[in-house]
Amino acid sequence: MSSTKKSAKTCWLILIVVGGIFAVIVVAAATRFLVDSPVDYANIEEHFKYGSTGGERESGFPYWIWKALPRVCEDKLPEGKKYPGQELKALGFIYEGDMALPVGMSKRRHMGVDRVFLNCAVCHTSTVRDTAASAPNVYLGMPANTVDLMGFERFLFGCAKDGKFSTDFIIPEIQQLGGDLGLIDRYLVYPIAISLARERLLMLASRFQFMLEQPDWGPGRVDTFGSAKTLFNFFPNRPVPEKERVGVADFPSIWLQGPKKGMQLHWDGNNTSVEERNRSAAFGTGATPPTLDRPRIKRIEDWLLTKEPPAYPYPIDHALVAKGKPVYVRYCANCHGTDGRKFDGEKVGKVTPIEDIRTDPHRLDSYTEQVAVNQNLLYAGFGEERFSHFRKTFGYANMPLDGLWLRAPYLHNGSIPTLRDLLDSAEQRPKTFYRGNDVYDPINVGFESSVPEENGKKFFLFRTLDEQRKRIPGNSNQGHEGPKYGTALSTPEKEALIEYLKTF
């Protein structure tokens, strides 16, 4: 064999070996970094509580950073130390057993790390206790009355602004927690992830600033379309009129979506499509058109179509119910449906003008024509998923009252603690009360709202007026008053009506 032939052969051999090694590295890197697999749950209720909607792909925190943050920034979570490993209990998040993530958070392996983010259950699940000494029951689909999202944002943004949000502080906490990071994670993946997470939080903090300047939401409420406005860059590029600035709303219940198809819903009735309301909600879980996990969100959608609210678990006086039914049918059924399951009635799923309902106008005014126009551009490029049903309305929706007992505090802004108070005139309704307690009050039908604290945990003082006795924007408890709204009924009629509403 000539020497040129020999060296050609050696060249080939080297090439094959190098190519082989390269291929092994590529495959190893691909299995490490290209895997996209969420933690799945066969049971639909578990899926609702802990399953993925795709939000982790874009918005997810690496799991170990997430677990380390409450320890690194414990001063930003005043009560966090009380609940080691389940620190977000301090903000009203629900933890079952010794779970490491609360109800309403999902996990997915994406880009080489386990990442976590919120799902629908964080805003649409809560607990009920019979007494302060009872164990909590978890109810899926009810408003998340105890979860303080404003506190949650303040914690995250506050932490990002702190110098401790850095590799030097976070990595040692992760190792202490048992994170056991390998060399590549420790010196490459996590330092990059920590700096990206911090930058992203700082960016969001500046965009969300206008929301954090609003009067405290307290637990169970959020500025629904505020995040959409930040997404569209409304702030700070355009001065926003005072009356559009506070869009705070109570979390609603989301049962029985099937029979609600075609109704004008959201509190102001701005959308008639169940599917679009769900896709819009998915933004709240961090999922955008390219990252939405369609099959997994479809599972939730399908389940919600027929998901029944839980029945009222306390004694009901059926003789009184029989007296309450005709009162309800006469005054309320036309707007709210025949009962808790039959959503017929001429005006059900339509909007009552603000001049008539006269409840707090801020949530309505915060949703402008311009937001609607911009929202109808969302999902453009995604075929028939493109939003097309958002409209500006001029009042609040007459919604079905299914599962009403779990929907307290009442009205779109959660300004009225109990059904009994709703049937009083605004003059007589409480001007302040406590939110965030999950102990049930079957006498007045709502949650315990007069207890300021329990075992050192302070409940949120909801105020309708500020120190100067001026109305707090978004917190008015007026409206839904007058003869047709039941506030002029006699006391026995009100008693009977309240009893009937327990059966919804």
Interface with ligand HEC (CB under 6 A): 53, 118, 120, 122-124, 222, 224, 249, 251-252, 254, 257, 265-267, 277-278, 281-282, 284-285, 297, 300, 331-332, 335-336, 347, 352, 357, 359, 363, 396-399, 401, 404, 407, 410-412, 422, 480, 484-486
Tokens describing residue 101: 């993530």
Report in angstroms how near the CB of residue 31 gets to ligand HEC at its nearest: 30
Contacts by 4-10 with C-beta closer than 8 Å and gap 24+?
none
Q: Would you say 65 or 335 has its CB closer to ligand HEC?
A: 335
Report in angstroms how near the CB of residue 300 gets to ligand HEC at its nearest: 5
Report in angstroms how near the CB of residue 363 gets to ligand HEC at its nearest: 6
Tokens describing residue 442: 């079957």
Residue linked to tokens 């099937």: 258
Identify whether 409 is preceded by a cis peptide bond (ω within 30 of 0). yes
Q: Would you say 190 or 504 has its CB closer to ligand HEC?
A: 504
Report in angstroms how near the CB of residue 307 gets to ligand HEC at its nearest: 11
Q: Would you say 71 or 229 has its CB closer to ligand HEC?
A: 229
Q: Would you say 72 or 123 has its CB closer to ligand HEC?
A: 123
Q: Would you say 64 or 343 has its CB closer to ligand HEC?
A: 343
Cβ-in-10-Å burial (0-12, 13-18, 19+) of 389 comes to: middle
Report in angstroms how near the CB of residue 496 gets to ligand HEC at its nearest: 11
Report in angstroms how near the CB of residue 183 gets to ligand HEC at its nearest: 37
363, 268 contact by CB (below 8 A): yes
Report in angstroms how near the CB of residue 327 gets to ligand HEC at its nearest: 7
Residue linked to tokens 């629904």: 224
Q: Would you say 179 or 286 has its CB closer to ligand HEC?
A: 286
Residue 485: name the closest of 324, 356, 321, 338 by CA.
Answer: 356
**Distance separating alpha carbons of residues 255 and 258, to the nearest angstrom:** 9
503, 496 contact by CB (below 8 A): no
Q: Would you say 418 or 437 has its CB closer to ligand HEC?
A: 418
Residue 127: name the closest of 90, 93, 152 by CA.
Answer: 93
**Distance separating alpha carbons of residues 374 and 73, to the nearest angstrom:** 37
Q: Residue length, the chain?
A: 504
